[in-house]
Amino acid sequence: MDATGQNEQGTATARPRVVWAVVGSDIGPLLLAATEDGLVNVVFHATDAVRDKALARIGSRFGTEPVEAPDSPLLADAIRQLDEYFAGRRRAFELPLDWSLITGFNREVLRELAAGVSFGAVVGYGDLARRVGQPSAAQAVGVAMGANPLPVVVPCHRVVERDGGIGGFGGGLETKRKLLALEGVLPEPLF
């Protein structure tokens, strides 16, 4: 498909529809974006500037302008399940995911994380590297966590350092602490 929305034969092709909404959560506003294939992006700290940058990136990637649609059926399950998660009533997400914003090793690592590290559990960067058959790729696993387009749902907050440190986090360490506390891995802060 070219920039005009036509394929090589010159006939019109449908561009993927991308819908989005900003929802409140215990860790601040989250931007959720979805396609017909599933949830495609979760963005932390969705202020106007963060939202605009994320939507421009998504629009560029899909070749279409994302449409604000908080009542879209494409977002309904994601919004409901995230609400349940933050209310302590959901331990696993059961959502279709659109993995098209990530490829290669990063996708492989994130799929393993989503399938193999459950609520309330943590895994080390090196352990996750071994799970995907790349035992010397702990640093690359860290890069994959930073590139995760679906945080919370694909739980990169559950990846920690071997020595017991919580490691880095694209949403900020306070956000990671809150998510780990919600799952019972860390104690709730006193104040």
* Residue 181 a catalytic site member: no
Question: What radius of gyration do the chain's Cα atoms show?
Answer: 17
Catalytic residue among 82, 154, 156, 159: 156
Question: What per-residue confidence (pLDDT) applies to 42?
Answer: 98
Question: What per-residue confidence (pLDDT) applies to 7?
Answer: 45
pTM attached to this predicted model:
0.88
Task: List the structure tokens of 123.
Answer: 């895994």
CA 144 – CA 140 distance, rounded (Å): 6
Question: What per-residue confidence (pLDDT) applies to 4?
Answer: 39
Asked if 150 and 110 touch (Cβ cutoff 8 Å), the reply is: yes
What pLDDT band is residue 164 in, cutting at 50, 70 and 90? Answer: confident
Mean pLDDT score of the chain: 91
Question: What per-residue confidence (pLDDT) applies to 1?
Answer: 41
Q: What is the mean pLDDT of residues 125-154?
A: 96
Question: What per-residue confidence (pLDDT) applies to 6?
Answer: 44
CA 178 – CA 176 distance, rounded (Å): 5
pLDDT tens-digit series, residues 48-107:
999 999 999 999 999 999 999 999 999 999 999 999 999 999 999 999 999 999 999 999
Give the DSSP letter string of 53-73.
HHHHHHHHHHTS--EE-TT-H
Asked if 183 and 119 touch (Cβ cutoff 8 Å), the reply is: yes
Pairing of strands 30-35, 19-23: antiparallel
Q: What is the mean pLDDT of residues 12-33?
A: 88
Question: What per-residue confidence (pLDDT) applies to 189?
Answer: 62
Length of the chain: 191
Question: What per-residue confidence (pLDDT) applies to 167?
Answer: 87
Report CA-CA distances (Å) from 187 to 65, 82, 94, 118: 42, 21, 27, 18
